[in-house]
Chains A and B, each alone.
Chain A
C-alpha cells in the first residue's frame, strides 16, 4: 500500500476545499482563516514532494507572518459592511469561471494523457529538500541569482521608503 498517493489526495482535496472556502466566505475573518488552512495544506503537499525546507518556510512565512498582516489589515480597516464586499455574478465572474475551467481541463489532460512518471524522482530525493542541500546549491550553482536577489530586495526597500515617506526633504 503506497502512502504517498493517499496523502496527496488528502492534502490536495483539503487545499481545493479551503481555497473555495476562501473566496466564498462572506465574513473576511473566516475567509482569512480558510486561507491559513489552505497554506497548511500546501505545506503538506510540499512535504509529500520531499521538499521539507519549502514546507517549513511555507508555514513560517505564509501561514505565520503574511496571515498576521492580513488579519491586522482586516482589523484596522474594520470591514463591517459585508454587503459592499459581495460581488455580483456578472459577465466578469462567468468569464473567470470559464477560464478556470479551461485550466482545470488542461491539468486533467496533461495528467491523463501522459502518465506521470513517479519513477522520475531520483533515488536521493529525500536529501534534496533539506536545508543543507538547498543552502549548498544556493551558494554554488545558484550563487549568481542569489546575489542578484540582494540587489532586488535593496531596490524594493529603497522604493517602498521613497513612496511611503511623509516628507521628501
Chain B
C-alpha cells in the first residue's frame, strides 16, 4: 500500500497535535487555558499552512482511502481558518460566561479534524468516520453550558436526531456497497458508468438514504427540524462555528459523493428521479427557511432559519453539477464559493450576537437591537454588512455566490428553481433589512450595556474583510477552483 506522507501532512499534523501532544500538554499543565488556547490556535495555523503549501501536491494516499491536493486542501485551509476564527471568538465569550474550560478547545479542533476527513475522503468508510468525528464534537460543544437547560436540551436533541441521521447514512452506504460491490468513490463511479450494477434497486435505495443522511447534516427540508432549537440553545460561539464550518464540511462531502454516484452528471437514467427529488428539497428548503425566519423574534433563531434557507441555495449547485463546457457556470464551484462567503458572513453575524449577548442570556431578541448604532456604532455597522451580504446585495460576497448558483441552475434548465430562489431571496430581505432598520432607524429602549469584543474583534475583522474582498474580487477564488 502506498502512503504519501508529504501529501498527507495536514492530516498527520492535526492528528499528532490533537491525539498525542495536545493530550499530554493538557494532562500536565492544569488550569492553564491560555496555553492550551494558544497551542490549538498554532495547531490550526500550522495545519492550514501545510494544506495551502501542499495544495498543488495531488494524488491519493493510504491505498486510495483519501485524495490529496486541490479541492480537499482548499477545504482544509477553509476549516482551519474557520477554526481559528471560532477559537478567537469563543475565548472572550466563554470568559464572559465564566465557563472557560480547556477541553472546549480540544473538542473544537477535533471537529475540524473530522471536517478535514470529510473533505479528503475518497471512500465511504472514511467519510463516515469524518462525519461522526465532527458530529460527536458538535454534540458535546452544543451542551457545553451544562447548567443551562436550553444548552442541554440542544445537545440531547442534536445527539438523538444526529444518531437517527447516522442510521440512514450507514444503511445507505451498506446498500450502495451491496449494489456496486465497493465503497471507494472511484470504483463506484466506474461501476455506474459501465452499467455493471449488480443490483440497481439496492443502489438507488442506498443513494436515497445517503442523500437523506447528508440532508440532515446540512439541515435541508424536511430534515431541518433540529437546526433552530440546536442553534438557539447551543452557546453562541458554538453556533457560529457549527452553522458555518459544519455546513461547509457537509457540502464538501455532498459534492464529492455526488461526483462518484453520478459520474455522468444527471444524464443517466438512475439520476433522473433523484434530480427531481433534490430539486423539490432545494425549493422547499429555500422557501420554508426564509418564510419561517420572517416571524422569529429571537436573533439566533432567525439566523438559524436563514441558515436552513442557505442550505437550499447551495443544493441548487448540486443539481447543476459540474459545467458542461469550459465557459459554463460550474455548479460545484458555485457551491464552494457560496460556502466560503457564507462562512464569513454567517460567522460574523453570530459573533456579533455573541458579543452583545448578556451574561444572563439576555439581549437576544430582535427588539433589543433597536437603536443599536447609538451605543455600539462599530458592531451595528458590521452587523449591517453581514445582513446585506446574507440578503445577497452587491457588492458583498453573498451576492456573487447567489448569482453563480442561480446562473448554474438556469444553465441546466432549472429556471423554475432559480425563480423560487429569487422569490425566497426577496422574502429574506424582509428580515435581514428589517434588522438593519431596527438598528439604525428606531430608538433604543434601555440604556444598554458594555459589550467588549476582545479577541472576537479579530474574527469580526477577518469576516468583514472576507465578505467585502471576495465580493469585489470573486475571480481570485474562481481561478483557484479552475486549477483543480
Q: Of A143, A155, A156, A162, which contacts B144 at CB under 8 A?
A: A162
Q: Name the residue of chain B whose CB is nearest to the CB of A141.
A: B63
Question: Min CB distance, A134 to chain B, in Å?
Answer: 14
A151 touches B205 (CB 8 A): no
Known: A114-B199, A114-B201, A143-B62. A162 touches B107 (CB 8 A): yes
Tell me whether B153 is interfacial, beta carbon within 8 Å.
Answer: no
Q: Of B129, B201, B202, which contacts A145 at CB under 8 A?
A: B129
B199 touches A155 (CB 8 A): no
Tell me whether B193 is interfacial, beta carbon within 8 Å.
Answer: no
B201 touches A162 (CB 8 A): no
A113 touches B201 (CB 8 A): yes
B129 touches A155 (CB 8 A): no
Residues of A contacting B125 in the complex (Cβ-Cβ under 8 angstroms): 142, 145
Tell me whether B195 is interfacial, beta carbon within 8 Å.
Answer: no
Tell me whether B113 is interfacial, beta carbon within 8 Å.
Answer: yes
Is chain A's interface secondary structure helix, strand, loop, or mixed overall?
Answer: helix
Question: Min CB distance, A37 to chain B, in Å?
Answer: 22
Question: Min CB distance, B472 to chain A, in Å?
Answer: 39
B103 touches A151 (CB 8 A): no
Tell me whether B1 is interfacial, beta carbon within 8 Å.
Answer: yes
A151 touches B126 (CB 8 A): no
Question: Min CB distance, B366 to chain A, in Å?
Answer: 31
Question: Min CB distance, A19 to chain B, in Å?
Answer: 16
Tell me whether B49 is interfacial, beta carbon within 8 Å.
Answer: no
Query: Once the chains are docked, how many angstroms separate the CA of A150 from the CA of B130?
Result: 12
Known: A106-B205, A110-B201, A169-B101. A149 touches B129 (CB 8 A): yes
Known: A148-B133, A151-B110. A143 touches B198 (CB 8 A): no
Query: Once the chains are docked, how many angstroms separate the CA of A114 from the CA of B175?
Result: 14
Tell me whether B106 is interfacial, beta carbon within 8 Å.
Answer: yes
Residues of B contacting A155 in the complex (Cβ-Cβ under 8 angstroms): 106-107, 110-111, 114, 133, 136-137, 140
Residues of A contacting B1 in the complex (Cβ-Cβ under 8 angstroms): 140-141, 143
Tell me whether A168 is interfacial, beta carbon within 8 Å.
Answer: yes
A169 touches B31 (CB 8 A): yes
Tell me whether A163 is interfacial, beta carbon within 8 Å.
Answer: yes
Interface string of A141-169 (1 = CB under 8 A from B): 11111011111101110111111000011
Q: Name the residue of chain B whose CB is nearest to the CB of A140.
A: B1
Tell me whether B143 is interfacial, beta carbon within 8 Å.
Answer: yes
Question: Min CB distance, B354 to chain A, in Å?
Answer: 20
> For residues 52 through 69 of chain B, which have their beta carbon under 8 Å from a beta carbon of chain A?
61-63, 65-66
> For residues 127 through 163 of chain B, which have their beta carbon under 8 Å from a beta carbon of chain A?
129-130, 132-133, 136-137, 139-140, 143-144, 146, 155
Listed in ascending order, the chain B residues whose CB lies under 8 Å from chain A are 1, 15, 18-19, 23, 31, 61-63, 65-66, 99, 101, 103-104, 106-107, 110-111, 113-114, 117, 123, 125-126, 129-130, 132-133, 136-137, 139-140, 143-144, 146, 155, 198-199, 201-202, 205
Given contacts A145-B129, A155-B137, A158-B110, could you give 10 more A-B pairs where the C-beta distance is less than 8 Å?
A114-B199, A117-B198, A140-B1, A143-B62, A144-B63, A150-B19, A151-B133, A154-B18, A154-B23, A163-B140
Listed by A's residue number, 7 A-B pairs whose Cβ atoms lie within 8 Å are A110-B202, A110-B205, A154-B18, A158-B140, A159-B137, A162-B144, A168-B101
